[in-house]
Amino acid sequence: MKATTLLERQHRNLQELCEAVERGSTSARQSLLPQLAGDLAAHIAVEEQLFYPAVSEALREDAWMAGGRARHEQARRSLERVLEVPVDGWEFAVAIGELRMVIELHAEEEEETLFPRLERALEPAALRELARAMMSLYHAKVEAGYAREIAMKARGANDADAPPAER
């Protein structure tokens, strides 16, 4: 699988999770939010640590790295807002709608403009090797509880608030 295909799949997954959270019941929202937060945090880590540096090197420009990081910061702020408000109120509906729109814009920008350029600049073998590294980092972040850490920070929780098993 190419790195661009992997990211397209992650984008679709994030969009589908946002839609499921948006349309779900209160209990469905509460059960899906940790997955959404985790998947988004892992996706951001993959792009910032591996994908954008590879793009900068292949295209010999840093504009996508700066723009991507700005879009990621916007997604982080939107996610924080989603995690701060009660899941059964109008504020939640506004916050999750904003997060969905940020994710959709991010996906559209990359998929329509960046991915075709990168696919022309890198050999298929290099795109596959990058994808392998990205998958490895993604799974490591998810398994390590990277998402829980981000979610707890966003909620303002501290270690004392976590159940003993999570400390």
**Residue-wise pLDDT tens digits, 78-103:** 999 999 999 998 999 999 999 999 99
Percent of the chain with pLDDT over 70: 86
Task: Tell me the average pLDDT of the chain.
Answer: 87
Does 76 have pLDDT greater than 50? yes
| pLDDT (0 to 100) of residue 65 | 81
Does 163 have pLDDT greater than 50? no
| Count of CB atoms situated within 10 Å of the CB of 24 | 16
DSSP 70-98: HHHHHHHHHHHHHHHS-TTSHHHHHHHHH
For the chain, strand residue ranges (E) read none
Q: Which two tokens stand for residue 61?
A: 């420009």
Q: How far apart are CA 77 and CA 57, in angstroms?
A: 28
Backbone angles phi and psi of 135, in degrees to 5: -65, -40
